[in-house]
Structure 1
Amino acid sequence: MKTVAENRRARHDYFLEDFFEAGIALTGTEVKSLRFGEGSIAESYAEVKDGQAWLINANIPEFSHGNRFNHEPKRPRKLLLHEREINKMANAVGRDGMTLIPLSVYFNPRGRAKVELALAKGKKLHDKRETAKQRDWKREQARVLRDRG
């Protein structure tokens, strides 16, 4: 798999619960831009509207060799999911106050552009501190065990 864009802050800012793999409906120049390794999902999110899932605010820059039919860089892009997955996402967002966060954009082995989505709940400042404390403690444990034997 060739990873094009990654949201590295997602694991720091959110508790990630359910993961989904979705296809993206793209135009030709968008696919070419992604194949050149351009694109960013750092500030993007997904939402369910009228029974369809959309990727909002993902930045795929215009293709350098594109013509007048080049795409708009931050347009909403339709996500290709099964209806039951969309319903599950819509229920979780509406009922539990969760958000849909894209974790990465990549090309699968068949050459199709995919997005890895996660249902996430936002972390508060004290949660972030607790996570950092746990991570440091695990690192210290590994160091002690490695030194002892």
Structure 2
Amino acid sequence: MAKHTSGGGRLAENRRARHDYEFLERYEAGLVLLGSEVKSLRDGKVTFKDGYIRIKDGEAWLVGVHIAPYANAGPLGYGGGHDPERPRKLLLHHREIVELTRHIEQKGLTVVPVSLYLHHGKIKLEIAVGRGRKLHDQRQALKDKAMARDTRRELTRTSKER
């Protein structure tokens, strides 16, 4: 029998979203998954590529995220042979869906998946409301990050010399 850990382990991260968007708000959502999708996620076989969140009929859906089929799942087994690109329902509170809808209706804002992780044995999705960065903003963010890294490196170097 598999042991469920209470700690959270990061399964996958959407690094592209961190580069392309400035995050304004973050939410935690559960996912409605098939058995073979859970196994595949635990193996890290997920690609966010052009994933986004769509609100339809008062429900939130994860669209455009590729979860590879689990190699050991049979075609007739529970969730075996799932469609890798299928939309997946997100489990959110009604008020959170209303807030997300309000954000999506604003010009320039979108809701993107940020990361998948384990929380008390359950797979959770971190989603964020983001504003797209312009190319010059992306370059400036990279410069700031490099400057902070160099400063940190110099501080550790001088503290080791003492």
TM-score, normalised to structure 2, is: 0.83
1:124 is aligned to 2:131:
no
Match for residue 138 of structure 1 among 141, 148, 157: 148
Q: Is 1:95 the counterpart of 2:102 in the alignment?
A: no
Unaligned runs of 5+ in 1: none
* Residues 20-43 of structure 1: per-residue CA shift (max 9 Å, x gap): 000000111111211222212232
Q: Which residue of 1 aligns with 2:20?
A: 13
Distance 1:148 1:94, change over 3 A: same
C-alpha distance 137-63 of structure 1, shift in aligned 2 (>3 A):
closer
Task: Give the distance between the partners of 1:36 and 1:144, measured in 2 at CA.
Answer: 38
The answer as to 2:106 corresponding to 1:106 is no
TM score, norm. by length of structure 1: 0.89
In 1: Cα distance, 2:140 partner to 2:157 partner? 26
Unmatched 5+ stretches in structure 2 = 1-7
Deviation by residue 1:52-94 (Cα, 9 ceiling, x = unmatched) = 1000011111121222242111100000000111111110110
**1:28 to 1:143, Cα distance in 2 relative to 1, 3 A:** closer
The alignment of Structure 1 onto Structure 2 pairs a total of residues equal to 148
Partners of 2:13 and 2:60 lie apart in 1 by 19
Is 1:67 matched with 2:74?
yes
**2:49 is matched by which residue type in structure 1?**
A
Secondary structure of the residue aligned to 1:9 is helix
Decide whether the 8 Å contact of 2:20 with 2:133 is kept in 1.
Answer: yes
Q: Over aligned residue pairs, what C-alpha RMSD do you find? A: 1.7
User: How has the CA–CA distance of structure 1 residues 148 and 61 changed in structure 2, closer, same or farther, with 3 Å as cutoff?
Assistant: closer
Identity level (%): 42
Alpha-carbon distance in structure 2 between the residues aligned to 1:122 and 1:75: 25
